[in-house]
Structure formats: C-alpha cells, structure tokens
Amino acid sequence: MRERTSGRTVGGFRNVFLQGPAVTLLLLWMLVPLGMTLWFSFQRYNLINPMISGFAGWDNYTYLLTDPALWTAMGNTLLLVGWVLAISVIGGTLLAVLFQQEFFGRGIARLLVIAPFFVMPTVGALVWKNMLMHPVNGVFAWLSGLLGLPVIDWFSSMPLASIIIIVAWQWMPFALLILLTAIQSLDDDQVEAARMDGAGPLAIFWFITLPHLKRAISVVIMIEMIFLLTIFAEIFVTTSGGPGLASTNLAYFIYIRALLDFDVGGASAGGVIAIILANIVAIFLIRTVAKNLET
C-alpha cells in the first residue's frame, strides 16, 4: 500500500509538473491584459497630453456612466445582438428543415449556403458596401431602378439595419450548420408515425422537430451572443459608427475613446464595463443551456 501510494503521489507531482507551464502561460495570457485594463481604468492616461496623468479613482467610470453616448452604444449593441440572433436562429432553423429534404443538387446548395461563414468579416462587409448596398453602383440600386422604386442609401438612412443584415448574413450559416447537424439525428420513425396519425408538415415541425432542436438552438444562441457583443470590423468598414452614433456599438465606442479621443483611461473603464456585461450574459446563457441539456 505504501508503494502504491507513493507511486500515485509521484505521478501526481509529475502531472502537475507537466501541466504547470501550460496552465501558467494560459493564466498570464488572460490575467495580464485584464489586470492592465483594470489598472488603466483608474488612471488619467491621455496619449496626446502626457501631462494628464495620476490616479483618477472612479472618475473615468463616473464620466462614462453619465455620458449619453455610452447608453446609446449599449442600446445599439442590444438591438444588434437581438436582431441578429432572431434572424440567424429563425432563418437557420427554417433552412435546416429545408436542406434536410431530398432535392437535386442538395450537396452543392448546402456548400453555397454555409460558405458565407468562412468569409472574413472585413471582406464580407466590403462586398456588401461596394457591390450590393452602394447607392449608385450596387446590385440593390440596380434592382430598385428596374422596378421603378426609389434608391435607398443604406448606410446613411438605415445604418444599424445595414449592419444587422451584414452580420446576420455572416452568422446564419453557422446556425444552419449546427441545426442541420442536430436535425439529422431526429428519429425518422417518429416522424413517420406522426404522419400516419394525420399530422401535417406544420404540426410535425412544431411538435417534433422544434422540440428536438431546443438544445442545439440554445447552444447557437450562447455562442453567437458571446461573439456578437464584440462586433467591430463590419462597423469600422461600412459606417464608422455613424451617422453620429446611429450604428456605434459598445466595442466601437471603446475604440473611439481609445484611438480617436486618445483617452486610454476612459477606454479601459469602458472595457471593464463591457467585460462585466459579457460575463453577466455568459453566466445567464450557460445556466440556460445547462437546464436545456438536463431536460
């Protein structure tokens, strides 16, 4: 027993010794940037004027929380995340049901529908800006001219809606990929039994397919929401947060504070606020997904 115990102890120390460098590197990779952000959020640090320095206390947080621009950015962030989630989940669910059916060229159609997810956000935003939504040379303007409809300057008249369309186009294939994988595990005998009992396509979808996809939908919502809170490239390439603050989300607001206003202290305080909000959302989503996985 002593030899076995000592062997286990030596093995335990060996595992700690082998895992220690990786765990230490991971902790440093996460904690050092977080610690620096917390430190700068309590400092007066301006990149243009080095005379502005010293301990600021809660001044950076007080200024941000009383700044209407912050609440506008947070509202835009919630609208962006909410609408993209709704469009991508509903559209992904309907497309998953559609592509589960047998039809000619289904494999090629699946590949083309999933392809936008692998396009870089900057490239996708440039394509939408210059080739589709351009008020003079865009495809949408050409179609409006053919139909005799007024041309829409998307990024001036509907900037946030334009960003929502672009981001939803990028993330709907992700939802489709996850939900299509989940729907393929649906028992065909159950669906066939429902059809024999007289259930129509809508009843089968509502009472069999949709409950079966509940777990997958929860996972899609959790993953997408975490990434959608940090949308930046699409806004930077297309609207630059404008007109005014009409399409500025929280991530772009922090960018403005840091690299346009050169206020590192205020931007760090905004980053801390964003971290707190992201963690609140993540905890809520993890608990929701855990409940769905248990049922």
List, for residues 86-116, the tens digit of each pLDDT value. 999 999 999 999 888 888 888 888 888 888 8
Per-residue model confidence as pLDDT tens digits over 129-154? 999 999 988 999 999 989 988 999 99
Q: Which CATH class is domain 58-294?
A: mainly alpha
pTM of the model: 0.86
What is the structure's pLDDT at 295? 61
Map the chain to HEC letters: CHHHHHHHHHHHHHHHHHHHHHHHHHHHHHHHHHHHHHHHHCECCECCCCCCCCECCCHHHHHHHCCHHHHHHHHHHHHHHHHHHHHHHHHHHHHHHHHHCCCCCHHHHHHHHHHHHHCCHHHHHHHHHHHHCCCCCCHHHHHHHHHCCCCCCHHHHCHHHHHHHHHHHHHHHHHHHHHHHHHCCCCHHHHHHHHHCCCCHHHHHHHHHHHHCHHHHHHHHHHHHHHHCCCCHHHHHHCCCCCCCCCCCHHHHHHHHHHHCCEHHHHHHHHHHHHHHHHHHHHHHHHHHHHHHHC
User: How far apart are alpha carbons 117 and 140 in whole angstroms?
Assistant: 22
Nearest to 38, CA basis, from 228, 269, 194: 269
pLDDT tens digits, residue range 16-38?
Answer: 777 878 888 888 888 888 899 99
> Cβ of 208: how many Cβ atoms within 10 Å?
17
Q: Which residues, given as ranges, of the chain have pLDDT below 70?
A: 1-13, 289-290, 292-295
Predicted confidence at residue 6, as pLDDT, reads 46
8 Å CB contact between 141 and 128 = no
pLDDT at position 2: 47
- Spatial CA neighbour of 37 closest among 11, 10, 61: 61
Q: What is the pLDDT of residue 21?
A: 83
pLDDT at residue 12, rounded to an integer: 60
At residue 18, the pLDDT reads: 77
Q: What was the pLDDT predicted at 126?
A: 94
Domain segments of the chain as ranges: 1-41, 58-294
CA distance 164 to 172: 12
